[in-house]
Every structure is written in structure tokens, then in C-alpha cells.
Copies of this chain bind each other. A is one copy, B any other.
Amino acid sequence: MGRVPRMADALERLKERLGEVTDLGKATRILSWDQQTMMPPAGTGHRADQMATVQRLAHERFTDPEVGRMLDELRPLEESLDPDSDDATLIALTRRDYEKAVNVPASLRAAMTHAAAEARPVWVKAKTESDFASFLPSLERIVELKLQYVDCVANGAAERYDVLLDDYEPQTTTAEVRALFEELKPPLVELIAELRERDVDDSFLHGDFPPDRQRALSHEVIELFGHRPDSWRIDPTEHPFASGAGRDDVRITTNYHPDSLESLFSTMHEYGHGLYSHQQPKHLERLPTGGPCSLGIHESQSRLWENLVGRSLPFWRRFYPRLQETYPEQFSDVDLARFHAGIHAVRPGLIRIQADEVTYGMHVMLRFELEQDIVEGRVELRDLPQRWNEKMWDYLGVEVPDDGHGVLQDVHWSGGSIGYFSTYLIGTVASVQIWEAVGRDVPELEEHVGAGEFTPLRTWLGEHVHALGSKFSPQETLRRATGSTIAAQPYLDYLRRTYA
């Protein structure tokens, strides 16, 4: 415009560029949501091209050397600003992401995308047929590329696995997570040993639950928790997830199994993810600092609504009559105490996504440990099934009958997502700390839940967690919200209090 570019201009230009990249990310989310909910199935081929193109352009726009020049130009401004300010945190986060992203050659990125796309159907078949050997070559290729990726960006990392973890839980080291998990493991193993012997009746949770009524109930729960119907939608999918394209375009999905009540808890879980998106800071909407902080913090939100609210006695005191009305055949003879005990049954099992609150952590630790072994070359990939089965026996006392119910059960590795699993447990642990922090500020929290009054909880989460976006690291976010970084004890105390 004829003016000499000044620093404020560089900041505006950077925000404009990041806005563009954010828009492309949101467009990709809608394309992916559409693929999983609405797209005619034969459209898969077209959609792969469309998504690859949008993602590649987003990457090119972000790793454009021009972004590097803007960041250089902005260094003096960044240093002059309050480090907690919106602009300083934006520049710092962008620099961090940029430096990681530019180190990855486009050819490697393309190869990784390609390998994942090829591995997916191979994994689906291998899982169905419990045939690990047929998946092994795909996994080898994925791991080979992942290790190349680590080589590109490992600069300064204490452990190679740090690089992968950082993609999902930024600024968090393997050592930190390992320390947390080591603290959790012995008490969890002990608790499981103690609880597995108990005979808890939860037979009423299995039976005939017509999906129509599940759907009505899921919508009722979401309404009770609180949402603006003009900003949310809920649809059925094979695997539940939360997505969307902004504060006012929140989409959650669930799966109405005709023989279980899973959908109810999974809806509460996805509601927590959805609320996090819905309450993200409006003024940072098209910026990376406006997005979620990490997968761990995201999961803390979903687990809070699913477990701390959704399995609590106050909630069910209010909601159980509705469940009884909805499924009288199942619940008219079951009193609240029996029901509440039933949704807290502890049963070590083979499948992570079906695991109860207590055994869940062991499934995560097993994967976290095996992934480190893979990255550090301490295990041959062909030996993974055996190592998996040994750990399942050691941690949960469970015998794995076949690889379909063992090492092949999760989709993550086939998609190249190595480093992801620990965030499930990080979030679960953090959810208790956050819940207790809410309780300190809102002493009547349980009464509110019992009265179906969720505004104070939503507001607290909005102000103390969601409003921070990703301005700060996950640990700093947690510290600001709760007064403490992640800690095992509150979670262990909660489990003992609730289950023992």
C-alpha cells in the first residue's frame, strides 16, 4: 500500500496468514466429518484427493519462507511484549510450530500420508482376520518413515520419543509422562487386583436398548448439560468423535449399539470435547492460539463430563428416573444404588475402548511403553504381539486369544499416530484435578449437578481452561486452571474413594 512495512504490519500479515491456515484446517475438518457422516460411500476416492490437496496447501502456506521472515521481523516486538499477552504467545507458538514444520521435507510428509492411506485397509483386513503378519510390512514402512521424521526434528530433544509425543502433547517430555505413569502403575495394579474379585452385578446394562430411545436420551443429556442448538449437531457414526469448524459449528457423534448403553456415556464424553470447542476464545478464533491446547487437555474435558459428572451419584439421582422411564423393562427392578454400582464395575478386559475407569490406564501404559521400545529400537516389530500379550498378562491378568483382540485392536498405528495414546491417560488424570479445582471455587458443585444446573460448571471451565486456548503449554494451562501441574495423587484418591 506504499507504506514502509512496520512491525505492526508484520504482525497483521502473520495473523492473516495464520487465519488462512486455520480456515484450511477447519475446511479439512468439515470434509472429514462429512466423509464419516454424510458422504455417499463411493465418494471416498474423490475425497482423498480433496483432503490431500487442502492439507498440502495449508502446509505450504504455513512453511512458506515468508512466514519465517515475518517471525524474524517480529522478534524485537515479541521481546518487548508481556510474554503472557495474546500477541507474544501467538508469535512464540507460531515460531515453535514453524521450526518443527519446516524441518520436514515435503517428500517425507507425502510419503507418510501415502503410507498411512495404504496401511489403513491392510490393517482393517488384518484385524478382522487376526493376522499380524499381513500387517507387519505396512507397520514397518510406517515406523521407518516415523523414524526419519524424528531424525528431521529431533534437534535438542532428550529422547527420540519426545518428538512424537510433542505432536500431540506439546512441550511435554517422555520423562515427565514416564514419571507420572510410574507413579500410577503400582497403586493401579493393586487396586485392580483388589476390585477384580468383587462380584458386581451390571447385567442390566446389557440387553435390548432400542436405538431410537437411546437417541432421545442422548439428546436429553446434551440439553441438560447445556448447549446452544443453533451451534451444535449430533449424528450417528461407527466410531464416536467430536469435530466442527468453530465455536458456533460444533459437531459430535455417537453410536447407538442396540444391546448396550455405551452411547449415553460416549455422548457425555464427546459433549466435553464439544464444549471445549464451543467456549474457545472468540478473539483468537482464526489463530492457532485459539485452538485446543493439547490432546491431553482436550481429553480432560471429555473425561470430566463422562466420569466426574456422568458417573456421579448426584447426576444419577436426578437422571436415573428418566432412564427407568425410558427402559422400564431393564431398570424398573433396579434401584439407584445397584445401578450406580453397576456403572462402576471393574473388569479387566482385552479392549481399551471398552475398559472401565480403573483398568483403562493400564491399557494406555502398555502402549506408551511399547511405542518407546519401537522408537528406541528395543523391540523387533515382528515380536510386538508377544510383547503385547505378556504385558496384558502382567498388568491385567488377561490372556489375549488372538491379535485382533490384542496388538491389532487400535487404528492409531496404521494411521501413523505414534505418540498419541498417553494423552488419553494424561487427560483422565488431569480431569480429576480440574474437577477438584472447580469444587474449590464452586462449593455447591454437587448440588448443582444434582439439580441439573450446569451453568456454573460450564462457566468455570470456560473461564479457567477454555479461554486460555493454546496460549500456554498444557502443564502451564493446567497450573493456571488448578494451581498445580499434573499429579497422580488426586486421580488415585478419586479412584479409591469411588471404587474401594
Contact = CB atoms under 8 A, between A and B. Distances in A.
A50 B250 CA distance: 15
Given A31-B30, A34-B34, A23 B50 contact: yes
Contacts of A245: 43, 46-47, 50
A11 interface: no
A20 interface: yes
Interface stretch (A229-237, A457-465, A471-479): A229-237
Q: Copy number of this protein in the oligomer?
A: 2
A26 interface: yes
B46 A27 contact: no
Contacts of A38: 34, 38, 233
A15 to B, nearest CB: 13
Q: Interface residue tally of chain A, by bracket? A: 35 or more
A362 B232 CA distance: 44
Instruction: Please classify the interface of chain A as helix (H, G, I), strand (E, B), loop, or mixed, using the class held by over half of its residues.
Output: helix
A41 interface: yes
A229 B39 CA distance: 11
B286 A40 contact: no
A110 B175 CA distance: 50
A489 interface: no
Given A23-B54, A30-B30, A43 B249 contact: yes
Interface in A1-60: 19-20, 23-24, 26-27, 30-31, 34, 38-43, 45-47, 49-50, 52-54, 57
B286 A43 contact: no
A151 interface: no
A24 B43 contact: no
A46 B233 contact: no
Contacts of A45: 246, 248
Contacts of A43: 231, 245-246, 248-249
B41 A26 contact: no
A228 interface: yes
Nearest to A54: B27
Contacts of A19: 49, 53
Contacts of A250: 40
Nearest to A49: B23
